[in-house]
């Protein structure tokens, strides 16, 4: 159909130049081949498009297999020991446990021990121990008169086998070691206490503990 520059309508100059007619053909035909792009065959059939979606599906399946396979290769391992030991929590007595550091003797520190400070520190023991004369056993045994008394000094308390097998008396140095690191002195004890790390704190507690007795034993020579 010829483009007729009409006298009645002002055509754009581009159309005026095209004067001569709409020619069929690829040059100026934008809607003739709608299937020339995308997942369609040149005849516009959907055969090609099925291949296209199959490829996407296959990629997804391969990704899933890769994820599952990587999970099988990397085995998460349980830690034998907690990475961060919790203060105050019981640590099981493991065979390969590191040797506790050398524990400073308490005797020289008892001379300048602060009994009142010891009483304050002993509050953390009271979660498990009663210290009063004739007081009850709790998680741990009543500790009245424990200093210079025998290990497992209470007959009405169920000590661990480890403590029962630990013979001797609670002298100042064994108390010092026990309070510093219970598992270090008596491996397998059921006293679930991490230990008092500061030597002077232990001296203060022991000086106070010594007084919780009908007959406080003498302080070590030199005090
Ligand atoms: C989490 C509870 C707990 C805490 C806290 C605790 N103890 Fe113990 N203690 C025990 C248990 C349980 C035993 C018995 C241990 C055994 O039979 O193996 C024990 C035993 C003892 C013994 C030996 C007693 C005996 O008759 O032979 C002494 C001494 C002792 N504790 C002192 C202390 C002191 C001092 C503190 C504080 C600095 C303290 N404990 C904090 C639970 C505790």
Q: Is the CB of 206 under 6 A from ligand 1?
A: no
- CA diameter of the chain: 132
Residue indicated by tokens 């005090």: 223
pTM score above 0.75: no
- pLDDT the model gives residue 1: 54
- pLDDT the model gives residue 133: 96
Q: Is the CB of 120 under 6 A from ligand 1?
A: no
Q: Residue 129: left (phi > 0), alpha (psi -120 to 50), or beta?
A: beta
Cα three-residue angle 208-91-104, rounded to 5 degrees: 45
In this prediction, the residues of the chain whose per-residue pLDDT falls under 70 are 1-8, 11-49, 71-101, 222-223
Q: What are 190-212's pLDDT values in tens digits?
A: 999 999 999 999 999 999 999 99
Any idea where the domains of the chain sit in the sequence? 13-73, 107-211
Ligand 1 centroid – CA 175 distance (Å): 10
Ligand 1 centroid – CA 146 distance (Å): 10
Q: At what angle do helices 199-211 and 172-180 cross, to 10 degrees?
A: 130
Q: Is the CB of 170 under 6 A from ligand 1?
A: yes
**52: which residues sit within 8 A by CB, 6+ positions away?**
39
Q: Is the CB of 118 under 6 A from ligand 1?
A: no
Q: What are 93-121's pLDDT values in tens digits?
A: 444 455 556 889 999 999 999 999 999 99
Residues 212 and 131: beta-carbon distance below 8 Å: yes
Residue indicated by tokens 């020339």: 36
- pLDDT the model gives residue 70: 73
Beta-carbon neighbour count of residue 13 at 10 Å?
Answer: 8
- pLDDT the model gives residue 220: 86
Question: If one looks up domain 107-211 in CATH, what number appears?
Answer: 1.10.760.10
For residue 8, with 0-12 CB atoms within 10 Å meaning exposed, 13-18 middle and 19 or more buried, which class applies? exposed
């Amino acid at each position: 159909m010829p483009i007729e520059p009409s006298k009645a309508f002002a055509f754009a100059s581009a159309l005026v130049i095209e004067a001569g007619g709409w020619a069929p053909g690829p040059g100026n035909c934008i809607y003739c081949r709608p299937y020339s792009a995308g997942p369609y065959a040149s005849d516009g059939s959907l055969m090609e498009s099925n291949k296209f979606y199959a490829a996407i599906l296959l990629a997804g399946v391969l990704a899933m297999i890769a994820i599952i396979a990587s999970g099988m290769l990397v085995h998460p391992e349980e830690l034998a020991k907690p990475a961060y030991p919790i203060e105050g929590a019981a640590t099981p007595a493991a065979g390969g446990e590191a040797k506790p550091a050398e524990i400073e003797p308490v005797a020289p520190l008892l001379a300048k021990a602060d009994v009142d400070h010891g009483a304050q520190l002993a509050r953390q023991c009271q979660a498990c121990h009663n210290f009063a004369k004739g007081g009850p056993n709790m998680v741990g045994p009543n500790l009245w008169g424990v200093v210079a008394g025998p290990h497992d000094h209470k007959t009405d308390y169920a000590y661990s086998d480890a403590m029962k097998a630990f013979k001797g008396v609670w002298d100042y140095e064994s108390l010092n070691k026990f309070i510093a690191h219970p598992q270090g002195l008596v491996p397998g004890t059921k006293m679930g206490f991490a230990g008092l790390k500061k030597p002077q704190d232990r001296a203060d507690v022991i000086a106070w503990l010594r007084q919780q007795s009908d007959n406080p034993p003498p302080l070590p020579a030199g005090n």
